[in-house]
Structure 1
Amino acid sequence: MSTAEFVVVANRLPVDRGADGEFKHSPGGLVAALEPVMKRTDGAWVGWAGQPDLTLDPFEFDGMLLVPVALSADDVELYYEGMSNDTFWPLYHDVISPPRYRRLWWETYVEVNRRFAEAAASVVSEGGTVWVQDYQLQLVPKMLRELRPDLTIGYFHHIPFPAYGLYSQLPWRKQVLEGLMGADVIGFQRVADAGNFTRSIRRLFHYETRASGIRIPQEDGSTRVALAKAFPISIDVDAYVELARRPEVQARAAEIRESLGNPKRILLGVDRLDYTKGIRHRLKAFGELLHDERVNVEDVTLVQVASPSRERVEAYMQLRDEIELTVGRINGDFDTMGHTAIRYLHQGYPREEMVALYLAADVMLVTALRDGMNLVAKEYVASRIDNRGVLVLSEFAGAADELGMALRVNPHDIGSLKDTIERAITMPGAEQGRRMRSLRRRVIENDVDAWSRSFLDALARVRADSRAQGTR
């Protein structure tokens, strides 16, 4: 098998396998973020192909070497649905839903992480660079360092990292931190997340942390310095701008408005169906606005896209039932023959349709209770080439650190959320333009290329420093 100088390791490969056995690009945010980097570097991507009990040899796809890691049905249940999404996900999102701790889940998580590390070690060139992605693979950096001490290793954490008071619940808290400290650069979405991580290191290991550096003692008596800091992720802005300019996409946006009865204002929510996204809070606020007659169903419609997510995890099944019951009640109370209060869409859509929705929507509602970044907020801003539209943004989303001209809101405060939605609906065009131009400047300047360059530049500096000091 050929080797690559640059290797990405992620839970999923950047492709989906259709019923005909053919592969096509998968639509996820991580893929969109990393694809430009992969094409620039002719790199390799290690990940699961998305189907249990599927064993595939490495293969070429669109200029990338893809290295599949096989997962059994038990692996998917225990490592992915269990440890990753029923333990780490709720714990790292401030215990919005109670995390569950199962020793069998952890044992499988360790074994699967080792499989990913071994696959990456087998494909990366001597002295190469490996970039590990996200919470499903937190043990891989240390395992890789043990297998291949010649490598430069980066890790990026796409979700929040919790304060020590919450993180300390984890029975395997030291093992996870040791796994992450195997990386030369550990990246987070927000400064606060990097701070939570380094405070946990100090509490549990008493290592010295100065600025963004963590001084990690080595077995030979030397000290290795790992960098832990914020690298806020972004989107491929040009792709959204290009779609927003297409006449057929603009025509589709007009069709969407027409199909909704041409209301004066369209509110839009776009989320995975997840309890961290604040969908229930958004629906409650909108329902109360209708009940209080502060908005009228003939003038204002909410479109809620809730793409399917983790449908075999109990908490997600309960959430879907609750949201669909709420939507049904609100629509039953307020729909007319010609207008629907909430158009609820439990499905995913291609990027072209999403951009048409962004163009059709007067107000974008991002009411996450906790979110590492939230790229939907940035996609909406990038798509608004007319410099119109209003972004209502939760202060608990990572994007709030960057998008200061959005209408920020605490989604737990339903009264304030109602007031903010009403303000967004009635905002004059001049104020919309002033805010949106500022938001667009920020998103355009800090696009996905800027994100990847900043992270990889930090990795290169660490590599150069360690070679100068003779530690690698």
Structure 2
Amino acid sequence: NNADWQTFREVNQRFAEAACNEAAPGASIWIHDYNLWLAPGFIRALRPDVKISFFHHTPFPSSDVFSILPWREEIVESLLCCDAVGFHIPRYAENFARAASSLLPVKKGPKASIADHFMPCGSALAQPDATPWLEHNGHRVKLVATPVGTSPDVIRSIRDSKPVQDLIKEIESNTKRGRTLILSASRVDYTKGNEELLRTFERLLERNEAIHGQVVLVLACVAANTGMKVYEDTQRGIEETVGRINGRFSKIDWVPIRLTTQRIPYEEMVAWFAASDICWITPLRDGLNLVAKEYAAARKGQGGSLVLSEFTGASVVMKGAVLTNPYSHRRMDEAIDLALSLSGEEQRERMASMAASVDQLSVNHWAKEQLEAIQ
């Protein structure tokens, strides 16, 4: 909408001016996410002495989708004023390189192999190689792919603390009761695939009566801020679906789905990660998804299964997750069936691989790689 675009430009101008007023001579300015796409261009015009880095927390779309925007050239020209532009994974970086080269006369660096911790092929967001830099109007911009990480040592120290260990025991005695505990944690958002997940769980209960009473799904789905009708409609759909499934399948001593839309304190969330046999994260699209990484950090040294959407950035670094396509009923059904059937030994092998990735690609590793690109 043109009226919204003018507001977007004005807000970006204000952020740029504030950053320039704060920055010392030759300072580095790190800008985050598409909300500030135009800030680099404004900053470069005001302060040619500074270094600018930009990081996308959301996926950068394919060039044909990005090109729908009427202001596409202005956005790309602004990003090309940076010294480095960062993305979670090589696919997003390559999407940007293609968008830039299709819209503007840029020079592209020769394709380079991706780092070993990325999956080169075999899933929706895999990418075997990527463009390392772009050059526009004599200015070179590095493209850097580093997924945001967690603080795995902090998560495990929280997990091992007495209050959280007590919470884990409480979950095991009050919710699990010897059952398989499946956890899904996200927010109320039409991109998070919560209703698709619930319908998959309903089909599981329909075709496998033997697991009735033996499995419980906990859906922690934080409500969005009020005033956004699209999120209110999404939340109503989730609540109605949960109510219908529980109405169909509940027994006196068993309710198949526990739903909360309240924000859960982080220490309690770590307890749920540590107690859950399966973590089920299948958004329709997600830049990275830290919940998947937090689960693996909390389960290090144990078993457990992670069912993960191919359309999350995390899917190309979590080599051990059960990957699935949330747009396909068959693939979703197969994934949850596989997660429920994995042996303890295979669970531990997969979890060890994922925990090693989480340890390597920590939040410190992310910050170090992104900031070193502009040194």
Answer whether contact 2:81 2:139 (CA < 8 A) is retained.
Answer: no
Give, in whole Å, the separation in 2 of the partners of 1:418 and 1:278. Answer: 14
Which residue of 2 is the match for residue 36 of structure 1?
Answer: none
2:134 alignment partner, one of 180, 201, 214 = 214
* Alpha-carbon displacement from aligned partner over 1:244-278 (angstroms, at most 9, x marks no partner): 11132122022123222514201110001111111
Give runs of aligned pairs for residues 325-336 of structure 1, distance below 5 A: 325-336=240-251
Which protein, 1 or 2, shows the higher relative CO under an 8 Å CA cutoff with sep ≥ 6?
2
**Structure 1 residue 127, shift from structure 2 partner:** 0.6
Give, in whole Å, the separation in 2 of the partners of 1:175 and 1:311. Answer: 32
* Alpha-carbon displacement from aligned partner over 1:33-83 (angstroms, at most 9, x marks no partner): xxxxxxxxxxxxxxxxxxxxxxxxxxxxxxxxxxxxxxxxxxxxxxxxxxx
Which residue of 2 is the match for residue 176 of structure 1?
Answer: 75
Answer whether contact 1:214 1:225 (CA < 8 A) is retained.
Answer: yes
Output the amino acid matched with 2:58: I
Answer whether contact 1:143 1:182 (CA < 8 A) is retained.
Answer: no
2:340 alignment partner, one of 425, 437, 440 = 425
Percentage of identical aligned residues: 36
Give, in whole Å, the separation in 1 of the partners of 2:178 and 2:192. Answer: 26
**Structure 1 residue 444, shift from structure 2 partner:** 0.4
Which residue of 2 is the match for residue 235 of structure 1?
Answer: 150
Asked if residue 383 in structure 1 is aligned to residue 285 in structure 2, the reply is no
Cα–Cα, structure 1 residues 263 and 411, in superposed 2: closer, same or farther, change >3 Å? Answer: farther
Give, in whole Å, the separation in 1 of the partners of 2:225 and 2:146. Answer: 27
Give runs of aligned pairs for residues 116-127 of structure 1, distance below 5 A: 116-127=15-26
Give, in whole Å, the separation in 2 of the partners of 1:426 and 1:251. Answer: 29
SS at match of 2:338: helix
Output the amino acid matched with 1:302: L
Which residue of 2 is the match for residue 30 of structure 1?
Answer: none
Asked if residue 192 in structure 1 is aligned to residue 78 in structure 2, the reply is no
Answer whether contact 1:185 1:226 (CA < 8 A) is retained.
Answer: yes
Asked if residue 226 in structure 1 is aligned to residue 125 in structure 2, the reply is no
Give, in whole Å, the separation in 2 of the partners of 1:396 and 1:175. Answer: 28
Give runs of aligned pairs for residues 24-423 of structure 1, distance below 5 A: 102-211=1-110, 212-217=132-137, 223-260=138-175, 262-294=177-209, 296-423=211-338
Give, in whole Å, the separation in 1 of the partners of 2:72 and 2:345. Answer: 51
Cα–Cα, structure 1 residues 187 and 261, in superposed 2: closer, same or farther, change >3 Å? Answer: closer
Which residue of 2 is the match for residue 46 of structure 1?
Answer: none
Give, in whole Å, the separation in 1 of the partners of 2:340 and 2:271. Answer: 19
Give, in whole Å, the separation in 2 of the partners of 1:447 and 1:175. Answer: 34
Output the amino acid matched with 2:82: A
* Alpha-carbon displacement from aligned partner over 1:180-232 (angstroms, at most 9, x marks no partner): 12211000111111111111111111211114211110xxxxx1101123121
Answer whether contact 1:377 1:399 (CA < 8 A) is retained.
Answer: yes
**Structure 1 residue 313, shift from structure 2 partner:** 2.3
Answer whether contact 2:64 2:99 (CA < 8 A) is retained.
Answer: no
Which residue of 1 is the match for residue 357 of structure 2?
Answer: 442
Pairwise CA RMSD: 1.3
Answer whether contact 1:117 1:144 (CA < 8 A) is retained.
Answer: yes
Cα–Cα, structure 1 residues 261 and 214, in superposed 2: closer, same or farther, change >3 Å? Answer: closer
> Which structure 1 residue ranges, 5 or more long, are not aligned?
1-101, 218-222, 461-472
Please identify runs of 4+ aligned residues in structure 1 that moved more than 3 A.
none
Give, in whole Å, the separation in 2 of the partners of 1:423 and 1:410. Answer: 14
Output the amino acid matched with 1:124: A
Answer whether contact 1:260 1:340 (CA < 8 A) is retained.
Answer: no
Output the amino acid matched with 1:281: E
TM-score, length-scaled by structure 2: 0.92
Give, in whole Å, the separation in 2 of the partners of 1:297 and 1:263. Answer: 13
TM-score, length-scaled by structure 1: 0.73
SS at match of 1:159: coil
